[in-house]
């Protein structure tokens, strides 16, 4: 069973992301964090296989979380989907340069998010 961490300060967005991904990964465990600091705490105690990360959060910017994850050997290879309202080229470039695996903007479609997650986790799309 994989653990998927959803990091967003909006409970509504966390529920939408979870609902989108549970269709693709019904037997996996979903963890949630409402802030960057909470995400780092969850990462430290879990076996996270995928992170879906917002950039705009109140206590710690998503780029800081991304840089933290990439700087640690234990977590450095965890795929990260950045899912944010910031669709400008500068935000996209900064996130990808910091190590985001995929950059998506809100609003998002459940199918696109699920497809990207399956690609990152190596799931056989035809069997899901």
Domain ranges of the chain: 3-127
Q: How many helices (H) and strands (E) does the chain have?
A: 5, 5
Quote the pLDDT of residue 27: 85
At residue 125, the pLDDT reads: 39
CA 82 from chain centre, in angstroms, equals 6
Could you tell me how far CA 76 lies from the centroid of its own chain? 14
Give the chain's end-to-end CA distance (angstroms, integer).
15
Tens of pLDDT along the chain (128 residues)?
789 999 999 999 999 999 999 999 998 999 999 999 999 999 988 899 999 999 999 899 999 999 999 999 889 899 999 999 998 999 999 999 999 999 999 999 999 999 999 999 985 433 33
Answer for the pair 84, 63: CB distance below 8 angstroms, yes or no: no
Looking at residue 59, the DSSP 8-state letter turns out to be: S
pLDDT at position 123 is: 56
DSSP secondary structure, 109-128, as one string: -HHHHHHHHHHHHT--GGG-
Nearest 10 degrees: Cα torsion 120, 122, 125, 128:
-110
Specify whether the CB–CB gap between 80 and 40 falls below 8 A: no
The CATH fold of domain 3-127: Rossmann fold (3.40.50)
Q: What is the dihedral of CA 91, 97, 98, 99, to 10 degrees?
A: 110
DSSP 26: T
């Amino acid at each position: 069973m994989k653990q998927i961490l959803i990091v967003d300060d909006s409970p509504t967005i966390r529920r939408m992301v979870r609902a989108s991904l549970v269709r693709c990964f019904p037997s996996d465990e979903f963890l949630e964090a409402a802030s960057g600091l909470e995400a780092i705490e969850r990462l430290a105690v879990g076996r996270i296989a995928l992170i879906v990360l917002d950039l705009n959060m109140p206590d710690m910017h998503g780029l800081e979380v991304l840089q933290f994850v990439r700087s640690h050997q234990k977590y450095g290879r965890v795929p990260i989907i950045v899912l944010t309202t910031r669709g400008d080229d500068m935000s996209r470039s900064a996130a990808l340069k910091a190590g985001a695996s995929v950059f998506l903007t809100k609003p998002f479609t459940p199918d696109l998010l699920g497809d990207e997650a399956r690609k990152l986790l190596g799931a056989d799309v035809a069997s899901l």
